[in-house]
Amino acid sequence: MTSALFVRRFLADYARNPVNPLVLVLVPVVFVVVAAGSMADAARLLGGTGPSVETAAAGWAAGFLSAIAMYFQLRGSREADRRLVLAGLPAGRLVVARMVTGLVLVALASAAALTALALRTGIDDPWRVGAGTIMFAVVYLAIGALTGVLVRNAVNGTVLILFIWILDVFFGPALGSPDRLSTRWFPTHFTTLWMVDLPSRHGGRLGDLGWALAWTLGALVLAGLVVTGTTRVVRGRRGHGGPFRTALRMGLRDYRRNPVLWALLIGVPVVFIWLSKVITAPGTMTLSLVDHGRAMDFTFWLPDMHAGTMTPIAIAALAALAGLFVVLDARAGDGRLILAGFGVRALLAARLGVVAAAALLVTAASLAVTAMVFDARQWVVYAAGNLLLALTYGLLGVCLGPIFGRVSGVLIAFLVPFLDLGIAQSPMLRAEPPAWARLLPGYGADRVLLDGGLTATFDQWGPLLLALGWLVALGLIGARLFRTSP
Amino acid sequence: MATVVTAVESVLEARGIEKSYRRGVWPVARRQDVLRGVDLALRPGEVVGLVGENGSGKSTLMKILVGALRPDAGTVAVSGRLGYCPQEPVFYERLTCDEHFELFGRAYKMSAEDERRSRRNLYAALGFERYAGTRADQLSGGTLAKLNLGLALLGDPEVLLLDEPYAGFDWDTYLKFWDLVAGRRQAGRSVLIISHFVTDEGRFDRIVQLRDGRAGPR
């Protein structure tokens, strides 16, 4: 078996790196045996629970060991792996060998950490603690793999892994408060809470175990993709790809090189969403919503829900600006490309593809900030509603650009979301939107996301269809303007 | 009246091109005729200069010839591929020279190998290969002009329409440009150049002058 041979060789490579045997002993001894007691004392002062720290320390140790091991596996192997593939080794076998090696390393790191824990305090719930420790190791396997392909310098790579690990451990739920929302997007937040059997109360339908498994599965997929990427070679002569793919690739490249994009992507969600949580005065408010098929009035504690209702305003404004600038920045160049023979449909599809990617990006960035200050009842529906809104306003920006130009377009791109979502649809001003607000582009998507954010079941099929109708209509208008504008 | 040749002989033939613009707003709007029936033909291997006073309609005519502007009347017939270098460099600000060539290679439906070969030749001919990885918004005016011209030349078109292509060129590049044009003439390719330079007169096979909205020999 070729793969087995490679696994053995890769493990030999692991064993021969003096850093690996050293940390395999040192890390569990230091964190699980020596420091866990003191860290538990510190955790009690910070609002955490002491015993959970001692248990979680096994996961921390396994995670760190796994990340370092996988980092050194991949750091310098890219060229050698490609050479193997060029020499005739099927890339699939090499990927399998690397992944099997990674899983053996996960098992090794977990065993070392659990042994240390068993020696120090014993393990009350072996299945839960064992599974949690392995999940820690798998999540960090992906972090190590990703660092391995991004950072070649061994010192820099190790420091980066250490930095991520310190953030995750010291600001995570075991050392702090388990119900803190702001750290829910840390890689092992839910894994830690499930492992030490402290319910987060913000796991939603998926639950803490569901989220932990999702992170673990996601990490495995990511590690697989990273390893596959390191073995990729160019067979024969590489072509351009189709016109659409070329234009989309260049469009995305042009978009991500815009520094204003990154500033807005961080600044707008923080200002609109996070600050709204900070400045909201205590009080209650009542909204008319539909839950389990019945319309009724719900009363909410304002500081708990205000930020979640500000998210769509941030997303709509960012998406409208993205749509506006994607089309306007490229307009003159696109005109020349079309004259040179580039297909109008391919170019239009590429521009809309960039707008869709931008909508996805602004939604993800805004939801990451939102998740720290707001807890949606149905996260998937809430996120989907926000994405629908982002796509709608992205297309609105595409339409505004050719009609109003750059300066007026920017003003209108900020004004329309404010009027639509901040005034007309706003749950802060009235229990439900007035009849005329149903004519505005944000109505449907806003009702969907409010339903997802504030109720237990999805009931907004009518508004969902209305939102999809807006998407189609704006897409058609945008396409028409793209073809006809000079 | 410009020389009119038969459609079989010419690679580009424009007949009766008319164009007017509306100036002002209603009720004081008026139409200003720019082109009043321009006839123009380009034969294979011919290098033609297009001259005229400011506002005589040279750039308008060129935009109509390439299809960027719709004429009020008249027809344009082109046989073979057409390359166009606009007066104002038109770019994607944040893409590099290499990335521009790759995009336009797709537009000209070139294979990856042909595009790279042509790109290398153009870098060498115009002397800006060291800017291959530089973004358009970080190029000097002269290098932008080279990229502008390079994009028009990339597909080796049968007909090349250049709107004052050498603004911003240094003397050395200016001479290289005319070497390129001479090479195209030898290869049987046609070039129409809008020019203001009296010193260029000797480099053209013939010169067409736009006057009072019509084309005629100079």
Is B6 a residue whose pLDDT tops 80?
A: no
Is A11 a residue whose pLDDT tops 90?
A: no
Residue type, B60: T
Distance CA A126, CA B164 (A): 80
pTM for this predicted structure: 0.70
Distance CA B178, CA B195 (A): 13
- Average pLDDT on A424-433 reads 84
Report the residue of chain A nearest B90, measured CA to CA.
A333
Q: What percent of chain A has pLDDT over 90?
A: 34
Q: What percent of chain A has pLDDT over 70?
A: 93
- pLDDT tens track for A314-364: 999 999 999 999 998 888 889 889 988 898 999 999 999 999 999 999 999
- Average pLDDT on A264-293 reads 83
Average pLDDT, chain A: 86
pLDDT the model gives residue A134: 95
Strand order in the sheet with B30-42: B30-42, B12-23, B73-78
- Which candidate, A54, A30, A190, A55, places its Cα nearest to that of A127? A55
- Please indicate whether, in this complex, the C-beta atoms of B94 and A258 are within 8 angstroms of each other: yes
Lowest mean pLDDT across A49-53, A480-484, B69-73, B129-133: A49-53
pLDDT the model gives residue A265: 83
- Average pLDDT on B95-104 reads 92
Which has more confidence, B164 or A206?
Answer: B164
Residue A337 contacts B, CB cutoff 8 Å = yes
Q: Are B140 and B169 in contact (CB under 8 A)?
A: no
Residue B120 contacts A, CB cutoff 8 Å = no
**SS3 assignment, position A166:** helix
Q: Cα A268 to the chain's mean position, in Å?
A: 18
Which tokens hold the place of B46? 């011919």
Q: A-contacting residues of B 140-199, CB under 8 Å?
A: 151, 155
- Please indicate whether, in this complex, the C-beta atoms of B94 and A257 are within 8 angstroms of each other: yes
CB count within 10 Å of CB A199 equals 12
Is B8 a residue whose pLDDT tops 50?
A: no
CA atoms within 13 A on the CB side of A449: 33
Report the residue of chain B nearest A244, measured CA to CA.
B106
- Please indicate whether, in this complex, the C-beta atoms of B93 and A329 are within 8 angstroms of each other: yes
Which among B90, B107, B111 has CB closest to A332?
A: B90
Is A66 a residue whose pLDDT tops 90?
A: yes
- pLDDT tens track for A219-237: 999 988 888 887 765 544 4
Q: What percent of chain B has pLDDT over 70?
A: 95
Q: Are A301 and A441 in contact (CB under 8 A)?
A: no
CATH of the domain spanning B48-68+81-217, picked from 3.40.30.10, 3.40.50.300, 3.40.718.10, 1.10.640.10? 3.40.50.300
**SS3 assignment, position A131:** helix
> Which residue pairs from B142-148 have beta carbons closer than 8 angstroms and sit at least 24 positions apart in sequence?
B142/B168, B142/B169, B142/B170, B142/B173, B144/B89, B144/B91, B144/B168, B145/B89, B145/B169, B146/B173, B147/B89, B147/B91, B147/B97, B147/B100, B148/B85, B148/B86, B148/B89, B148/B90, B148/B91
- Average pLDDT on A138-153 reads 90
Which tokens hold the place of A23? 């940390």
Contacting residues of B for A246, CB less than 8 Å apart: 102-103, 106
Lowest mean pLDDT across A440-449, B46-55, B199-208: B199-208
Q: In sequence order, which residues have a C-beta less than 8 Å from that of residue A148 and are 6 or more positions away?
A: A70, A71, A72, A73, A74, A75, A77, A157, A226
pLDDT the model gives residue A171: 80
pLDDT the model gives residue A237: 43
- Please indicate whether, in this complex, the C-beta atoms of B66 and A339 are within 8 angstroms of each other: yes
Report the residue of chain A nearest B70, measured CA to CA.
A486
Is B137 a residue whose pLDDT tops 80?
A: yes
pLDDT the model gives residue A1: 56
- Please indicate whether, in this complex, the C-beta atoms of A250 and B103 are within 8 angstroms of each other: yes
Which tokens hold the place of B189? 């390719």
Q: In sequence order, which residues have a C-beta less than 8 Å from that of residue A483 and are 6 or more positions away?
A: A344, A348
ipTM at complex level: 0.74
Contacting residues of A for B113, CB less than 8 Å apart: 237
Distance CA A46, CA A175 (A): 7
Is A485 a residue whose pLDDT tops 50?
A: yes
Banded pLDDT at A23 (limits 50, 70, 90): confident
Which among A329, A330, A337 has CB closest to B107?
A: A337
Q: A-contacting residues of B 95-114, CB under 8 Å?
A: 95, 99, 102-109, 111-113
- Please indicate whether, in this complex, the C-beta atoms of A337 and B99 are within 8 angstroms of each other: no
pLDDT the model gives residue A238: 46
Which tokens hold the place of B135? 């973004």
Which has more confidence, A460 or A16?
Answer: A460
Which among B90, B107, B111 has CB closest to A341?
A: B107
- pLDDT tens track for A297-326: 888 888 888 888 899 999 999 999 999 999
- Which candidate, A167, A126, A229, A204, places its Cα nearest to that of A381? A204
Residue A329 contacts B, CB cutoff 8 Å = yes
pLDDT the model gives residue A443: 95
Residue A16 contacts B, CB cutoff 8 Å = no
Distance CA A55, CA A132 (A): 10
Q: In sequence order, which residues have a C-beta less than 8 Å from that of residue A177 and are 6 or more positions away?
A: A46, A47, A48
Distance CA B138, CA B63 (A): 28
Q: Which residues pair with B163 in a beta bridge?
A: B194
Task: Give the distance from residue A400's alpha carbon to the nearest chain B alpha carbon, in angstroms.
Answer: 20
Q: Are B45 and B189 in contact (CB under 8 A)?
A: yes
Report the residue of chain B nearest A246, measured CA to CA.
B103
- pLDDT tens track for A94-128: 888 889 999 999 999 999 999 988 888 888 888 99
Residue type, B121: N
pLDDT the model gives residue B198: 64
- Average pLDDT on A419-444 reads 88
pLDDT the model gives residue A474: 96
Q: Are A387 and A452 in contact (CB under 8 A)?
A: no
pLDDT the model gives residue A55: 84
Lowest mean pLDDT across A146-155, A176-185, B89-98: A176-185
Distance CA A34, CA A120 (A): 9
